[in-house]
Chain A
Amino acid sequence: METIKYIFKRILQTIPLLIMVSLISFFIIRLSPVDPLAELKLNPSISPVTVEKERQRLGLDKPIIVQYGKWALSFVKGDLGVTSNGEKVSQKLKERIPNTLLLTTIVIFLTWLVGVPLGIIAAVHWKTNFDRILTVLTSIGMAIPSFFFAVLLLMFAVKTGWFPIGGLTSPNFADMSFGNKVLDIAYHLILPVFVLFTISLAGLQRQMRANMLDVLDSDYVKFARAKGLPEWMVIYKHALRNAVNPMITLLGFEFAGLLSGAALTEYVFQYPGLGRLILEAVLKSDINLVMASLMMGAIMLVLGNLIADILLIITDPRIRVKSS
């Protein structure tokens, strides 16, 4: 019961946060000297009626606070306006967000699967050659600019022809059976996932190693050893449980970092994700689309943090005690 109450409180806290985010983004975008309807007006396939409707909806003739109010109201209702091509923004987002989520969740899953064990091994074999080599490798992984790495991999893909050159699906995707569709997407995901995986693995492995080293130094681990417990039990039963908790907080940060890192990777690989969408929108100064995707990015980030916090409440009883 306590837990549920705490989780509920934590969920409520995100609402003012999101309102603040929307205010900040709204004012930043309105600072720009671009006429939000310029692109729409220039497009001959869009009727003046639609443009007028947009003007009404955005309240462009009214003061900026009213504009914000109007925007916020229609955002909550789910009406995000139209892009400069006249498509529905919500439709566009619906196509792109799952792709970004797919990419980031796979990357998070893989980095945890590999990074956490590597961190543990490095900590247990502290200052051995294995540990040193890992440190060098992670340093290298952290230093490669994601877009440059992506470009190099593309070069590799073009030269060998082993991997598809960008995109998420093959041209004949629509004709494939379900199983082949899944395989096709997986095949296209390999390179982008590999780029993001390499870059985020380094940070995770180092954090895990540091946590584990801290824990291995603590009194209760020394006590467990003194008691004569076998080493694997000391590590996996006593040390690991305590070392993993701070990692869960990191999950939220990792998600945030991935959203940002994914934007450049998506761009290079022509991957149809949210990052590339916002980039294209920015380059075309498509205000509705920029605003909506910025908000979506923020909502995803806040939700990511929320999930991490809730996981932490479940795994770490100390937090529950502190809050009540």
Chain B
Amino acid sequence: MIKEVFQQLWKDKFARISLIVLAVIYAVLFFADFIAPYTKDFSDRTMAYVPPSKIFTIDKDGKLSKPYTYNYVREFDNDNLEIKYTLDRSKKHYIKFFSQGQPYKFLGLIPMKRHLFTTDKDGRIFLLGTDINGRDVFSRLLFGGRISMTIGFLALLVLFPIGLLYGGISGYFGGKVDSIMMRFAEAIMSIPSFYLLIILASILPSGMTSTQRFLLIVIILALIGWAGFARVVRGMVLSIKNQEYVQAARSIGASRMRIITKHILPQTTSFVIVAMTLSVPSYILSESGLSFLGLGIQQPDASWGNMLKEAQEFTNILYRPWLLTPGFLIFVSVLAFNVIGDTIRDILDPQSKTR
């Protein structure tokens, strides 16, 4: 069935573009260590807020040359009292492809040194400028994307089994069990989700390793979303549980848990797929919002949300627009996920005409 859905997705023009965009994004993120010229923690303190490097392919004499770049030098303008960066045109730094640069571990396992592109030792190439600590925004964008684009999926993997089981039990058992379980889910839904999110994030103890923090944020995101999902599953279970094949399973003595997990829940598959693709973007947005406020992924780790934190200052927005690039990436990936989700819904549920 998944193959059929995919074929139909491919037929739709917008869905095809979205699939390609997402595939490119995920491929780049997968090879982030290799594509990024610098490692996540590389910082050059003398190069804070450097604008994007200019890349030249035509030299001063008007001749075509190998691509090269100039370094920026910092100057203090005494008249206007501001720091200015100007190009140091005395020394060319050629851009080298597939050559040795900063050492890293590919996917955290294989030690490697080659980068897609880099420049010589004292040259600096910052495709999208640097942040306050002189870290390369382009490189951090790739490493941050790894976190931002996977956290939603991980949260869904935690949330869906909980929601399915909760909704399944509640719907199948019915009666008092059902009403108690549903009142609890409704109570969770009655707390504005973002309020709950920031409160849960704020009670995380400080001094955790970045992996622990990442996993706990995944769990928090999952805790926010399961209730609404469980409610819908319950509704579906209510309509399925009186069908003949369920009665048949009951009459041959299948246990209740077996009936719920083996006979009823599989019937909700197409709904689950739609709900999953539709809710990935909202988790990407939640994570970035949380990190934007400083409650999610913490420095020195990067995520698209916490990179945007610097955009909270007016001077940054006005004079350093390259710091806004993570926002555009969030926008593009959320848009792509939304388009795919809408198309999948149309394919699986031809009656709904939301598109």
Pick the interface stretch among A13-21, A57-65, A77-85: A13-21
- Total interface residues in chain B, CB < 8 Å: 47
Residues of chain A from 202 to 240 with CB closer than 8 A to chain B in the complex = 206, 209-210, 213-214
Given contact pairs A154-B317, A158-B317, A282-B198, A210 touches B353 in the complex (Cβ within 8 A) = yes
What string of 1s and 0s marks CB contacts (under 8 Å) between A267-283 and chain B?
A: 11000000100110011
Contact B191 A285 (CB under 8 A): no
In the complex, chain A residues whose CB is within 8 Å of the CB of B200: 28
Given contact pairs A28-B200, A155-B318, A268-B312, A145 touches B289 in the complex (Cβ within 8 A) = yes
Contact A142 B292 (CB under 8 A): no
In the complex, chain A residues whose CB is within 8 Å of the CB of B189: 256
Q: Is A165 part of the contact surface with B, judged by Cβ < 8 Å?
A: yes
Pick the interface stretch among A1-9, A108-116, A242-250, A296-304: A296-304
Least CB separation from B335: chain A residue = A143
Contacts between chains A and B (CB distance < 8 A), count: 144
Query: Complex Cα distance A142/B355, Å?
Result: 14
Q: Is A29 part of the contact surface with B, judged by Cβ < 8 Å?
A: yes
Q: Is B177 part of the contact surface with A, judged by Cβ < 8 Å?
A: no
Contact B318 A145 (CB under 8 A): no
Contact A294 B293 (CB under 8 A): no
Q: Is B99 part of the contact surface with A, judged by Cβ < 8 Å?
A: no
Contact A17 B314 (CB under 8 A): no
Query: Complex Cα distance A25/B196, Å?
Result: 8
Q: Is A50 part of the contact surface with B, judged by Cβ < 8 Å?
A: no
In the complex, chain B residues whose CB is within 8 Å of the CB of A20: 183-184, 186-187
Q: Is A126 part of the contact surface with B, judged by Cβ < 8 Å?
A: yes
Contact A259 B198 (CB under 8 A): no
- Interface range on chain A: under 10, 10 to 19, 20 to 34, or 35 or more? 35 or more
Pick the interface stretch among A30-38, A181-189, A190-198: A30-38
Query: Complex Cα distance A155/B292, Å?
Result: 17
Query: Complex Cα distance A313/B259, Å?
Result: 37
Contact A28 B199 (CB under 8 A): yes
> Which of A16, A213, A263 lies in contact with B195, CB distance below 8 A?
A263
> Which of B194, B198, B281, B314 lies in contact with A158, CB distance below 8 A?
B314
Q: Smallest distance from the beta carbon of B260 to chain A beta carbons, Å?
A: 25
Query: Complex Cα distance A51/B190, Å?
Result: 32
Name, among A263, A268, A293, the residue most crowded by chain B CB atoms within 10 Å (CB to CB): A263
What string of 1s and 0s marks CB contacts (under 8 Å) between B52-82 and chain A?
A: 0000000000000000000000000000000
Contact A159 B330 (CB under 8 A): no
Query: Complex Cα distance A302/B183, Å?
Result: 13
Least CB separation from A24: chain B residue = B187
Q: Is B48 part of the contact surface with A, judged by Cβ < 8 Å?
A: no
Query: Complex Cα distance A159/B317, Å?
Result: 10
Contact A260 B327 (CB under 8 A): no
Q: Smallest distance from the beta carbon of A266 to chain B beta carbons, Å?
A: 11
Given contact pairs A21-B187, A151-B308, A297-B195, A143 touches B338 in the complex (Cβ within 8 A) = yes
Q: Smallest distance from the beta carbon of B107 to chain A beta carbons, Å?
A: 28
Contact A147 B192 (CB under 8 A): no
Given contact pairs A148-B308, A213-B353, A279-B198, A32 touches B331 in the complex (Cβ within 8 A) = no
> Which of B190, B198, B294, B324 lies in contact with A21, CB distance below 8 A?
B190
Q: Smallest distance from the beta carbon of B330 to chain A beta carbons, Å?
A: 5
Residues of chain B from 173 to 225 with CB closer than 8 A to chain A in the complex = 183-184, 186-196, 198-200, 202-203, 205
Query: Complex Cα distance A178/B302, Å?
Result: 48
Given contact pairs A139-B339, A294-B195, A145 touches B293 in the complex (Cβ within 8 A) = no
What string of 1s and 0s marks CB contacts (under 8 Å) between A281-317 and chain B?
A: 0110100001001100110111001000000000000
In the complex, chain B residues whose CB is within 8 Å of the CB of A294: 191, 195-196, 199
Query: Complex Cα distance A143/B281, Å?
Result: 8
Q: Smallest distance from the beta carbon of A89 to chain B beta carbons, Å?
A: 16
Q: Is A107 part of the contact surface with B, judged by Cβ < 8 Å?
A: no
Contact B192 A297 (CB under 8 A): yes
> Which of B202, B292, B294, B318 lies in contact with A159, CB distance below 8 A?
B318
In the complex, chain A residues whose CB is within 8 Å of the CB of B324: 148, 151-152
Given contact pairs A126-B353, A155-B318, A28 touches B327 in the complex (Cβ within 8 A) = no
Residues of chain A from 76 to 133 with CB closer than 8 A to chain B in the complex = 126
In the complex, chain A residues whose CB is within 8 Å of the CB of B50: none
Least CB separation from B206: chain A residue = A33
Q: Is A264 part of the contact surface with B, judged by Cβ < 8 Å?
A: yes
What string of 1s and 0s marks CB contacts (under 8 Å) between B322-355 and chain A?
A: 0010010011101100110010000000001111
Query: Complex Cα distance A264/B187, Å?
Result: 23
Query: Complex Cα distance A62/B237, Å?
Result: 43
Least CB separation from A34: chain B residue = B203
Given contact pairs A24-B187, A145-B289, A285 touches B194 in the complex (Cβ within 8 A) = no
Given contact pairs A32-B202, A34-B203, A267-B293, A21 touches B318 in the complex (Cβ within 8 A) = no
The 3 A-B residue pairs with the shortest CB-CB distance in the complex, in nearest-first order:
A260-B194, A32-B203, A20-B187
17 contacts across the A-B interface (CB closer than 8 A): A20-B187, A28-B200, A139-B339, A143-B332, A143-B338, A145-B327, A154-B317, A165-B314, A259-B195, A260-B193, A263-B194, A264-B194, A264-B289, A268-B312, A282-B202, A297-B191, A297-B192
Q: List residues of chain B with CB under 8 Å of any chain A CB.
A: 183-184, 186-196, 198-200, 202-203, 205, 281, 285, 288-289, 292-295, 308, 311-312, 314, 317-318, 324, 327, 330-332, 334-335, 338-339, 342, 352-355
Q: List residues of chain A with CB under 8 Å of any chain B CB.
A: 16-18, 20-21, 23-25, 28-29, 31-34, 126, 135, 139-140, 142-148, 151-152, 154-155, 158-159, 165, 206, 209-210, 213-214, 256, 259-261, 263-264, 267-268, 275, 278-279, 282-283, 285, 290, 293-294, 297-298, 300-302, 305
Given A20-B183, A210-B352, 18 more A-B residue pairs with CB atoms under 8 Å apart are A17-B190, A21-B187, A25-B191, A32-B203, A143-B335, A143-B338, A151-B308, A155-B318, A260-B192, A260-B193, A264-B292, A264-B293, A275-B195, A279-B293, A290-B199, A294-B199, A297-B191, A297-B192
